[in-house]
Amino acid sequence: MCTWLTRPVLTSFDPDPRSRYTFWTFVVGGTLVWLSVYGVNQAQVQRYVACRTERQAKLALLINQLGLVLIVSSAAFCGILMFVFYSSCDPLLTGRISAPDQYMPLFVLDIFKDLPGVPGLFLACAYSGTLSTASTSINAMAAVTVEDLIKPRKPNLATRKLMLISKGLSLIYGSVCLTVAALSSLLGGGVLQGSFTVMGVISGPLLGAFVLGMFLPACNTLGVLSGLVMGLALSLWVAMGATLYPPSAQIMGVLPSSTYGCGTLSANASDLLELTLTTNASSRTSSSRVAPGRPALADSFYAISYLYYGALGTLTTMLGGALVSYLSGPTKRSALGPGLLWWDLARQTASVAPKEEITALDDTLVKGPEEILPGTKKPPGSLPNDEDHPLFLGQEMEGTPGPGHVGGHDHGETNL
């Protein structure tokens, strides 16, 4: 029993991918999931593009990370408090709640029952936070549909019609989100596991496609699309298998709970409840082991931690895309445009200040800074500061002017 009363923490280095929470699941699986969310997710990218400069985008991302660390730490601390608070009287076993997602609202009601209005304030905050996240995602999907699917095929549509189409798409996507949210209540595992599962299944293959495009010059369109399909199919297969055939409590590392500390239950009722729960738990365990319809992959492949779904989709997309690209004819390096590969972007960032401007910089340091009035043209020898550079520059490689370079001036419009 003492071995059961240990929750996996970051000090657990168990390499078994079926272990739900270990050092490796957080470092490997969690890193790839959050990298896909903050690196290639449209809802995040459109926020970066909305910033005036790259420095402002980095600052906004840093502030966001500070808030994210605070929220995640608070959630983990609340989980520890709830486990201690309900360790001897589990409300899920007594019937006070019907799903693990109801632990937190019940916890707020129990500790703030003498403070009217606080539970309502908690629900209002949770509801408003959910709406802000969902509205951004819905707006991002509508914007991508209009910009990438409708406008290229209907370039002559009026702005008013495009606005109406965008609003209609937002309504459709919002209705779909509400439907999926209603259906998600029928699935086990909780909201947190469900959200990470969806992010891993969808964003994992997308991250693999971007990694292919940035780091493998030989990849082609067929290879990337094939890798996306393979990564999405494999990660979705594992997620559906885990939903239909959930792993056992021993594999997931679920902590035991009891009702011996519930003061409202009589001794006979408590004994009867404990006996019933023990019988049901043992019957579920035995049935899961001998069930004829349970596949052999249920306790192996389907039982991997949901934090690895994103890593599985990313690796499958990269390997499958690279293989198909080389088999179907790799793209020649000379056929690639400037600024598409990662090292091209790094080289461009390093060459923002050309060598011929270094001498002018030294002269400026010797002579002292000159005051430049607003609206006047800067001298040719002055270096541009960070505010002078938009977030995305016109690409210039090997002396070839990019689409944002006309007449010696860089323009902010680029092709992303």
| Separation CA 71–CA 191 (nearest Å) | 16
Q: What pLDDT score does 365 carry?
A: 43
- The β-bridge partners of 406 are 409
- Would the pLDDT of 48 be above 50? yes
The residue behind tokens 């280095």 is 13
Best CA proximity match to 277, nearest among 264, 252, 260, 294? 260
The residue type found at 1 is M
Name the DSSP class of 397: B
Q: Is residue 392 part of a domain?
A: yes
pLDDT reported for residue 234: 95
For range 277-300, the mean pLDDT: 59
pLDDT: which is higher, 403 or 214? 214
Predicted confidence (pLDDT) at residue 356 exceeds the cutoff of 50: no
Asked if residue 204 lies in contact with residue 311, where contact means CB atoms within 8 angstroms, the answer is yes
Q: 126-162: per-residue pLDDT in tens?
A: 888 878 778 888 888 898 899 888 999 888 889 899 9
Which band of pLDDT confidence, cut at 50, 70 and 90, is reported for residue 173? very high
Q: For residue 370, is pLDDT > 60?
A: no
More confident residue, 271 or 39: 39
Whether residue 176 is contained in a domain is answered as no
**pLDDT over threshold 60, residue 4:** no
Q: Which residue has the tokens 């539970």?
A: 119
Checking if the pLDDT of 411 tops 50, the result is: no
- Whether residue 238 is predicted with pLDDT greater than 90 in this model: the reply is yes
Q: Is the pLDDT of residue 287 over 70?
A: no
For 302-328, write each residue's pLDDT tens digit.
Answer: 999 999 999 999 999 999 999 999 999
Inside any domain, residue 276: no
Residue 393 confidence (pLDDT) above 50? no
Mean pLDDT of all residues in the chain? 77
Whether the model clears a pTM of 0.85, i.e. scores above it, the answer is no
CB 137 within 8 A of CB 143: no
- DSSP class of residue 10 equals T
Q: What's the domain count of the chain?
A: 1
pLDDT of 351 reads 58
The reported pLDDT for the residue numbered 325 is 95
Whole-number Å distance between alpha carbons of 10 and 6: 12
53-62, 344-353, 372-381 — which one is most confidently predicted on average? Answer: 53-62
Residue 313 identity (one-letter amino acid) = G
pLDDT band at 397 (very low <50, low <70, confident <90, very high): very low
Amino acid letter at 10? L
Above 70 in pLDDT, residue 288? Answer: no
**Does residue 390 surpass a pLDDT of 60?**
no
DSSP-derived secondary structure for 42-60 = HHHHHHHHHSSSHHHHHHH
Find the range with the poorest average confidence among 212-221, 247-256, 362-371. Answer: 362-371
Q: Is the pLDDT of residue 376 over 60?
A: no
What percent of the chain lies above the pLDDT cut of 90? 26
In a domain, 49, yes or no: no
Average pLDDT over residues 403-409: 45
How far does CA 19 lie from the centroid of its chain? 21
Most confident segment among 52-56, 124-128, 315-319, 408-412: 315-319
Residue 343 is assigned to a structural domain of this protein: yes
Q: Is residue 288 part of a domain?
A: no
Distance CA 379, CA 382 (A): 6
Contact, 5 vs 255, CB < 8 A?
yes
Q: What is d(CA 222, CA 235) in angstroms, rounded to the nearest whole number?
A: 20
What one-character DSSP code corresponds to residue 76? H
Q: Mapping DSSP to helix (H, G, I), strand (E, B) and coil, where does residue 400 land? A: strand
Task: Name the packing angle between helices 309-328 and 221-244 (round to 10°).
Answer: 150
**Does 117 map to a domain?**
no
* Window from 29-33, 315-319, 379-383 with minimum mean pLDDT: 379-383
Please give the backbone phi and psi of residue 142, each rounded to the nearest 5 degrees, phi first.
Answer: -65, -40
Element (H, E) at 409: strand 409-410
The pLDDT value recorded for residue 14 is: 82
Is residue 346 pLDDT above 50, yes or no? yes
The verdict on residue 355 lying in a domain is yes
Structure tokens at 185: 């209540």
What pLDDT score was predicted for residue 15? Answer: 85
Give the per-residue pLDDT at 220: 93
Query: Which domain covers residue 395, as residue numbers?
Result: 337-369+377-410
Tell me how far apart the alpha carbons of residues 110 and 152 are, in angstroms, rounded to a whole number. Answer: 56
User: Which backbone phi and psi does 278 adopt, to 5 degrees?
Assistant: -65, -40
Cα distance between residue 148 and residue 416, in whole Å: 12
Instruction: Give the C-alpha distances (Å, rounded to integers) separating 410 from 297, 391, 403, 414.
Output: 57, 12, 9, 10
